[in-house]
Amino acid sequence: ETITNHLPTAELQALDAAHHLHPFSHQGELAEKGARIITRATGVTLTDSEGCEILDAMAGLWCVNVGYGRDEIADVAARQIRELPYYNTFFQTSHVPVIALSAKLAELAPGDLNHVFYAGSGSEANDTNMRMVRVYWAQKGKPDKKIIISRNNAYHGSTMAGASLGGMTPMHEQGGLPIPDVHHIPQPNWYAEGGDTTPEEFGLQRAQELEKAILALGEDKVAAFIAEPVQGAGGVIIPPSTYWPEIQRICDKYEILLIADEVICGFGRTGNWFGSETMGIKPHIMSIAKGLSSGYAPIGGSIVCDEVAEVIAGCEFNHGYTYSGHPVAAAIALENLRILEEENIVDRVRNDTGPYLQKKWKALADHPLVADACIVGMMGAIALSPNKAERAPFDGDSGAVGLICREHCFANNLIMRHVGDRMIISPPLVITKDEIDTLIERATRALDLTL
Ligand code: PLP
């Protein structure tokens, strides 16, 4: 029994509407409709306050990689809370969970990414990165290297720095963002912006926008380039194969730090431990969160390469959060990583259930409403269009048809998100083949109803 689930759904909804301000929601409209109240979950399945079972094809917010209802994690959390529920890592103290987790992350992360700075979330990790790269260049005698280049339609979080680094226009429009010294270049979204070019030509062109921006802003002013290996919240935009090698070449040529925001791509989502491995890049810093703890506790961080860590170690870095390296969150993350390893979950995404899902997902492109189906590992999107051959958008509001499709999914006990008129999935990485069949059946039914 949860604390309040003895109350009838309507009463819970009324209390929710009266007192709970929801993130990324139109509060007035939600209050009229009433939120769906989720009471429990196991595996890939949520249960709501009416007893309906819902297949969660979004793993919460792209985070519950090991699935819901893991007793092992609950046990570790309870033990850690009893032993040491909190202690800080400021001012010359440390503790066992954070030490063990840092060593484990250094082992899992590619190359010489061997040092971890902790935060409570992905947004906070990116705030850290923004400050860290500037401190790095200042320490190296180049304090003017401050500008961070990012991309339109990127998502890097919702704090002032995170939302500024991100390239979401509706976020920038509220609250006067972005903050200074952040510059955005066009995204590698061939489906929407590629016109008559081939994906390969387009990928190269869009990567070269980085070089143009560096030359226009001044090499001596640019600190870093930040990007998600695969844009997630922007609609699962998988860049053409030519994009990342060219970005890597440009970052190397102009000595620009490369920050890979692995908040979604990390911990198996793309079929490797990190999206940087799938895309063949060598970042100096990776932002992590979400799948680090499979959402069982809020924790994020930055994994930093030897050279950046060494330079930062030369000064006092005046930055940190009360919950940097929280012992309970760290113990939970460590147990989550143990599960990912012991159950070969990343390998299954690469070689077994991942390819199974990919085949079925790509077949959705045969549906009359679907102009494109793309997927890497277990993050995928389908683009809805009234004219498949021309990849045409719908008349009227972008996202109106996506919203209708999402509502049909919801009514069919399937959680898929819509980003404009793209429907996206990012299921728990433990989803079975039978559950994948159910996901595809329900998605197809929702598409049929949207037609
Ligand atoms: N970076 C990326 C790539 C994300 O997808 C997100 C969240 O969706 C964030 C950062 C922000 O993470 P959080 O919501 O934990 O602050």
Tell me if the bond preceding 143 is cis, omega within 30° of 0.
Answer: no
Segment 75-85 shows an average pLDDT of: 98
pLDDT of residue 396: 87
Mean pLDDT of 205-217: 98
**CA–centroid distance, residue 164 to ligand 1 (Å):** 13
262 lines ligand 1 (CB under 6 A): no
- Among 263, 293, 302, which is best to mutate for testing ligand 1, by the most ligand atoms less than 8 A from CB? 263
Whole-angstrom Cα distance, residue 293 to residue 64? Answer: 8
Please indicate, yes or no, whether residues 279 and 413 belong to a single structural domain of this protein: no
Tell me what pLDDT residue 397 has.
Answer: 86
Domain span at 433: 36-66+346-450
Dihedral angle sign, alpha carbons of residues 438, 270, 63, 154: negative
Name the domain count of the chain: 2
pLDDT at 231: 98
Q: CB pairs under 8 A, 24+ apart, for 139-142?
A: 139/311, 139/312, 139/314, 139/315, 140/311, 142/220
Per-residue pLDDT, 117: 98
How many CB atoms lie under 10 A from the CB of residue 93? 9
Ligand 1 center to 156 CA (angstroms): 5
CATH (domain of 215): 3.40.640.10
Answer yes or no: is pLDDT of 410 > 90: yes
Mean pLDDT over 337-358 rounds to: 98
Based on the number of CB atoms within 10 Å of its own CB, is 170 exposed (0-12), middle (13-18) or buried (19 or more)? Answer: exposed
Cα 111 to Cα 241: distance, rounded to the nearest angstrom: 22
Q: Return the CATH number at 408.
A: 3.90.1150.10
Percent of the chain exceeding pLDDT 70 equals 99
- The verdict on 321 and 366 lying in the same domain is no
Encode pLDDT of 161-170 as tens digits.
999 999 999 9
pLDDT category, 6, cuts 50, 70, 90? confident
Give residue 232 CA to ligand 1 midpoint distance, Å. 9
Q: Report the distance separating Cα 405 and Cα 417, nearest Å.
A: 9
Over residues 298-309, the mean pLDDT reads: 98
Among candidate residues 311, 342, 373, the one where a domain is terminated: 342
Banded pLDDT at 1 (limits 50, 70, 90): low
> Quick check: 331 pLDDT over 70?
yes
- Which token pair is 38? 């989720």
Same domain? 151 vs 257: yes
Q: What is the pLDDT of residues 107-131, one digit of tens each?
A: 999 999 999 999 999 999 999 999 9
The yes-or-no verdict on residue 244 having pLDDT over 80 is: yes
**HSE toward the beta carbon, residue 174, CA cutoff 13 A:** 7
Residue 376 and residue 362 in one domain? yes
Same domain? 382 vs 249: no
Backbone angles phi, psi at 172, to 5 degrees: -65, -30
Question: Is 30 part of a structural domain of the chain?
Answer: no
pLDDT value, residue 2: 57
Sign of CA dihedral 200, 203, 207, 213: positive
Residue 61 clears pLDDT 80, i.e. is over it: yes
Testing ligand 1's pocket by substitution, the residue of 63, 127, 148, 156 carrying the most ligand atoms inside 8 A of its CB is 156
Q: Is the CB of 293 under 6 A from ligand 1?
A: no
